[in-house]
Structure 1
Amino acid sequence: MKKLSKQVDILKQDYYTKKLTTESFLKIMLFAQLHETESLHAISDALLDEDFQKAVGFDSISASQLSRKNNELDPTVLSTIFLDLVSQIHTHHNQSKNLIPLKIIDSTTLPLNLTNYKWATFRKTKAGVKLHLRLVFMGKDNVYPDKAIMTTADEHDRNQLEVLVDDKEAMYVFDRGYVDYEQFDRMTDDGYFFVSRLKKNAVTRDVYSFKLPGNSTVISDKMVLIGTYQNRAEHYFRLIEVEDTKGNQLRLITNRFDLSADEISYIYRSRWAIELFFKWLKQHVEIKHFYGMTETALQNQIYLALITYCLHVLVRLKANSDKPLLRISRWLKAALWKPSYIFTKWTEPLLVGY
């Protein structure tokens, strides 16, 4: 727990704290995430378990103490843990595979009650926060988040694109909500590759048509200029028209000309992985019921959900397992207080290194 302790000391998180230290709070809240515990009172009641008491170092804690710690803990502590876990996952992939990753960008909105969350501006009758996320795609069922930004729900997606694009060794994939011609030009000038989807009303002008192989599933492949004379991109881009599984025609835009049209089409289809990731978060950790009403409390809970996901990924990677994360989650719940050899030899504790 050295890294965690150092961060806590720097931010002075445990000054005057005798019982509910940051380490103990983290263990309690990760337990709550794993078991999808919906309230602080339910978390407090879970400490009736003797094994849980041994893990955190005390036999009871009130919901009010948990609430106070959740509202006071600097989200930087949890964001640092999240990024360190991401680094461990990334290191594992660098050692085992020599692949250029796809980085998928998208956001999901978490609705909130306007009465209790007036600061979370969204619409006149609704409140909400938005999680802007970058997901590393290393293949089917092999994904992990590596950057997260939380804003109020009224923040437009494309405002975060520049922040989420920072690695020239990756290929970025994002949907039409991020379409910004000026940003497309900047990314191209700076050496970033991307594939996105154009809006239906986007104006394009054909410059050149590429010949498609006979077995291609692509409708057309062209070099184009995009935008009107008043609002257009300066660079030439590649426009690929494909059909989705429902027969709808999609227009994909990219600044990459070295791959085949079918490869670009496959890359864009991989964007679906981030939808599945958001679905997993909402179904298998606890971000539907929030434990606090402040911005800090929400940020902490969302980071805890991401940390829980990353720990699942590390468990699977270090166990060299190809089992789905849902299966890993069930095993963790069943073997949480068991001797480490029952699961694998290295699981003792999950937060090794902190």
Structure 2
Amino acid sequence: MTTENLDKVTVKQLLTFIPDQSVSALAAKTGVDYQAKVLFGRSMFYLLLYGLAENERTSLRSLEDTFNSRRFKLLFNLDPGQTTRYNSISDRLATMNLDFFEESYKMIYSLFHEHFKPKETLKYNITRVDSTMVTETASKLEKGMTTGIKKDGKKQIKYTISLDGLLPSSVKVFTEQAELSEDKTIPKAILALVDTHKDNVFVFDRGVQNRQAYVDLDEKELRFVTRVRTNSRSKVIEELLLPVNRKVGNLTILKDEWVYLYGSKNKRVDVPFRLITTKDEQDKLILFVTNMKEDTDKELIPVQDIIMIYKQRWDIEVFFRFIKQELNFSHFLSTNLNGIKIILYMTLILAMLIHIYKKHNNVGYKTAKRRVKMELEELLTIIIVEACGGNPDIVLR
């Protein structure tokens, strides 16, 4: 299927990019079915994908009902005689080989990225990086971090996700208290992509303030754009020429400088960065920092481009809201760390499918989720009618 000029896509078309033979091959490669009697890797893969898509609020009991339904087994060609209980699903999530789900996620991301890579509004390949937290009662979580001084008996797990256009290209899970700071987690997530995203521009928010993090990214030749606090100290090396039109959206460009930044204890960082000072309509200062100065032709990268790159960061905030509101990501289906990561990978696979459907059919997130569910039901209807020797065209005119 050619997708370059494809205006609309169907769920059936998208499911062809999740090759069943490859899923089965990964199950064999990772040994995920070792000692399994009912909940095999392939079965769990489709149970979680279908269960997350079908249910408004997925739970272990709803997954039990889904697995035990003949409709589900018919759709994914599973043994109709097998049944399970919710506690068996919970136990399986806690012990299954995580590699199977991680490799499945990476494979499907690569296939979707190859065929549905979106065109950025700017000429740069932009990767947005940010974190979100999910909270649970402390006694239920094996690991987690606490925030603030309030002792409310709850812990949080942190997810740091990289988003390339429509698709989440990587994810890391953090549970240790020392990893609460974005200074530790976001640079770590970016540096893990050095071999695959070398030509991208990474954009992240001002939660990362450690100047050494900027240096580490620059040393790896990874381009980035972020913000710094208005009281950040710097020493000017060179003043860059401002454009004739200094308005970019609601911002006015005041300065464009090549500087040395100062870090903790007023220690100067002897690696130069570009500091852009702007103000909004309320005269509030907004400062951007980047290591992008010149392009491959040694031409100065327009200051407007730097500001517009940062504005693309908002896409990941929208993505987080989508997976939390529409895909049940605001609560834990499993409170075991292995199970949490399995659900995470399956949620991101489903998110890619729905996100692409939304984009190519020009609908909102809620509509995309609802129509994906409806089209799955139609696929099932076709299979049932054909299995009974009938003509599905008569039913679905």
The normalised TM-score by structure 1 is 0.85
Q: 2:164 aligns with which of 125, 128, 136?
A: 136
Is residue 335 of structure 1 aligned with residue 375 of structure 2?
A: yes
Residues of 2 paired with 1:61 and 1:340: CA distance?
21
* CA 339–305 in structure 1, closer or farther in 2 if over 3 Å, else same: closer
SS in 2 for 1:336: helix
Residues of 1 paired with 2:98 and 2:33: CA distance?
14
The Cα RMSD (Å) is: 2.7
Task: Write the letter of the residue equivalent to 1:83.
Answer: K
SS in 2 for 1:211: coil
C-alpha deviations, 1:52-105, integer Å up to 9, x for none? 232343364211121121111122211111111211122125698995310111
Q: 2:62 aligns with which of 38, 42, 46?
A: 42
Q: How many residues align?
A: 335
Q: 1:23 aligns with which of 17, 20, 42?
A: 42
**Residue equivalent to 2:139:** 115
**Residue equivalent to 1:249:** 285
Contact 1:51 1:337 in 2 (8 A): no
Report how far residue 14 of structure 1 moved: 1.4
Residues of 2 paired with 1:37 and 1:95: CA distance?
30
Q: 1:101 aligns with which of 101, 116, 125?
A: 125
* CA 164–188 in structure 1, closer or farther in 2 if over 3 Å, else same: closer
SS in 1 for 2:325: helix
* CA 336–130 in structure 1, closer or farther in 2 if over 3 Å, else same: same
Out of 74-83 and 226-235, give the one that drifted further. 226-235
Q: 1:149 aligns with which of 172, 175, 198?
A: 172
Report how far residue 212 of structure 1 moved: 2.1
* CA 245–47 in structure 1, closer or farther in 2 if over 3 Å, else same: farther
SS in 2 for 1:277: helix
Out of 327-336 and 97-106, give the one that drifted further. 97-106
Out of 225-234 and 175-184, give the one that drifted further. 225-234
Report how far residue 314 of structure 1 moved: 4.8
Residues of 1 paired with 2:87 and 2:118: CA distance?
45
Q: 2:303 aligns with which of 251, 254, 261?
A: 261
Q: 1:180 aligns with which of 185, 203, 210?
A: 210
Report how far residue 230 of structure 1 moved: 5.0
Report how far residue 199 of structure 1 moved: 2.3
SS in 1 for 2:163: strand
* CA 219–133 in structure 1, closer or farther in 2 if over 3 Å, else same: same
Residues of 1 paired with 2:203 and 2:282: CA distance?
21
**Residue equivalent to 1:57:** 79
| Aligned residues with identical type, % of pairs | 21
Q: What are structure 2's unaligned runs of at least 5 residues?
A: 1-19, 248-252, 294-299, 383-397
Is residue 293 of structure 1 aligned with residue 335 of structure 2?
A: yes
Is residue 305 of structure 1 aligned with residue 335 of structure 2?
A: no
C-alpha deviations, 1:255-312, integer Å up to 9, x for none? 1123211211111111111111100010111222323221111111111111111222
Residues of 2 paired with 1:110 and 1:103: CA distance?
23
C-alpha deviations, 1:15-38, integer Å up to 9, x for none? 332322111111111122112433
Report how far residue 118 of structure 1 moved: 4.7
Write the mapping of 1:341-352 to structure 2, written as runs, cut at 5 A: none
Bigger CA radius of gyration: 2
Residues of 2 paired with 1:247 and 1:280: CA distance?
32
Out of 108-117 and 238-247, give the one that drifted further. 238-247
* CA 264–96 in structure 1, closer or farther in 2 if over 3 Å, else same: closer
Report how far residue 121 of structure 1 moved: 2.9
Report how far residue 157 of structure 1 moved: 2.1
Task: Write the letter of the residue equivalent to 2:271.
Answer: H
Residues of 2 paired with 1:223 and 1:322: CA distance?
42
Residues of 2 paired with 1:340 and 1:249: CA distance?
56
Task: Write the letter of the residue equivalent to 1:87.
Answer: S
Q: 1:231 aligns with which of 267, 270, 279?
A: 267
Q: 1:278 aligns with which of 312, 320, 336?
A: 320
**Residue equivalent to 2:190:** 164
Report how far residue 324 of structure 1 moved: 3.9
Write the mapping of 1:212-231 to structure 2, written as runs, cut at 5 A: 212-217=242-247, 218-227=253-262, 231=267
Contact 1:128 1:152 in 2 (8 A): yes
Q: What are structure 1's unaligned runs of at least 5 residues?
A: 138-142, 343-354
* CA 186–168 in structure 1, closer or farther in 2 if over 3 Å, else same: same
